[in-house]
Amino acid sequence: MRYLSTRGHADRKQFCEILLEGLAPDGGLYLPESYPQLDAARLQALRQVWQSRGYAGLAFEVLSLYIDDIPAADLKALCEKTYTEAVFGTPQIVPLKPLQAAGHARPEMFLEALSNGPTLAFKDMAMQLLGNLFEYELARRGEELNILGATSGDTGSAAEYAMRGKAGVRVFMTSPNGRMSPFQQAQMFSLLDENIHNIAIDGVFDDCQDIVKAVSNDLDFKRQYKIGTVNSINWARLLAQVVYYFAGYFQATQSNDQKVSFTVPSGNFGNVCAGHVARMMGLPIDRLVVATNENDVLDEFFRTGVYRVRGTADTHETSSPSMDISKASNFERFVFDLLERDGDQTKAIFGEGLSRQGFFDLSGDPRFAQAATTYGFDSGRSTHADRLQTIQQVFAAYGMMIDTHTADGVKVAKEHLNPQVPMIVLETALPIKFASTIVEALGREPVRPPQFEGIEQLPKRVQVMPADVAQIKSYIAQHCD
């Protein structure tokens, strides 16, 4: 298996090379040269693996289709080390939770519980594996890695909890100053491990993401300080997320001649891009529904064909803050496929074109007209009022408390239900991470896991800095000496 850049760079690399690299040398994102195809026999074999060997076994089989430069026994051991009941709190790792009202013959939809990991968010599903992969590969090479990341809320804590204490790894995590929930901030800033560095940027998430890309595109600095990434621009993280689409499908169906749909709360397009990869492999997915909040750049694209980046002043601060994103980095991977893998055209629109114009328009491209049919995408948006109403409705009808981002997903999923096709909404976080909105909706505090009691009162370590690439580089260099 070899990997190529979405922007047409000539290099073809193996998995472990891009694991530590992040962006391609031309600023593109890595994708496999082709997606492994699953015939009926192979899909049935994967269902049997799920039934007999559980999530860790399924992860090994799916990852093995993309990773051929880690010995099979080692990869199997890494999966078994990562996906345990002790880490994720349940033997199924990602159980389906039916939203089924009393007296109804079948569920209205399912929630796939992805938030049982150490930081109570779906990012743990990939980040726990990524931490073990980094430690394994760095030890094998005798090298160190400095991870530069950007978070709108959940990536940061998931990465830091996965990397804390890991040999050979330092984490420099940028986040928008004051724009995460108090719980999210406390999860990150209360980590005092020497290899963890929190940097609060005066700006929005997109400013943080731009810094990560700018540093990653400075190839001399990147090589000198061995800079890697944990954002979903890193293919390894997105690949790990592909697994739970298979797990959700096998739980919602009895046989492989059935289809399911997924609704995915989306900001940076990484979570739903993993679903796109699973569908391209042959997993029987009917629709992939992209649910946005008021920052609806992705919904606008799927409705109109226009991708229009918002500036800092036009990026709304919402009650589903992890989706307060107006530059969806992973979207480039899907557009590359949409454009029939034309690296030159992808480079033209995502490189200078997007930075110069602030938008691109594919509405007149016949390939966009076929996108909904060929790739199965639908979309919708949700507002603060919608979130409150959905949280109230789900609690009243099903006795279940959901977080604000999952509420965005449920609201949009209701607009795309098909009685013949089960709908799975990806749960993205537990309600405690966004307690103030839960209290606003339900008049009660969400359940707080015992290990997080008093977390907001713990000592914190964070450096507040302007959105200045040069200053971030200087900070990294200073703390790598």
Q: Which of 408, 403, 405 is nearest to 382 (CA)?
A: 408
Q: Which of 428, 441, 129, 419 is nearest to 265 (CA)?
A: 428
116 and 90 Cβ atoms separated by less than 8 Å: yes
Q: What angle do CA 295, 298, 304 make, to 5 degrees?
A: 115
46 and 65 Cβ atoms separated by less than 8 Å: no
Task: Estimate to the nearest angstrom the gap between the alpha carbon of 271 and the chain centroid.
Answer: 4
Q: Quote the CA–CA distance of 318 and 308 in Å, as a whole number.
A: 19
Angular region, 62: left φ>0, alpha ψ -120 to 50, beta rest: alpha
**3-state class of 114 per DSSP?**
coil
First to last CA, the chain: 36
458 and 186 Cβ atoms separated by less than 8 Å: yes
Q: Which of 380, 267, 427 is nearest to 331 (CA)?
A: 267
Helix (H) or strand (E) holding 155: helix 154-163
Going by DSSP bridges, is the β-strand pair 109-112/423-426 parallel, antiparallel, or unpaired? parallel
Q: Which of 259, 245, 173 is nearest to 209 (CA)?
A: 173
Q: Which of 339, 323, 341 is nearest to 387 (CA)?
A: 323
Q: E-strand spans in 151-272?
A: 169-176, 196-202, 227-228, 260-265
State the DSSP string of 369-429.
Answer: HTHHHHH-EEEEE--HHHHHHHHHHHHHHHS----HHHHHHHHHHHTT-BTTB-EEEE--B
The catalytically annotated residue of 76, 123, 166, 327 is 123
> Active-site residue 123, yes or no?
yes
What letter would DSSP give residue 285? E
Active site residues: 123
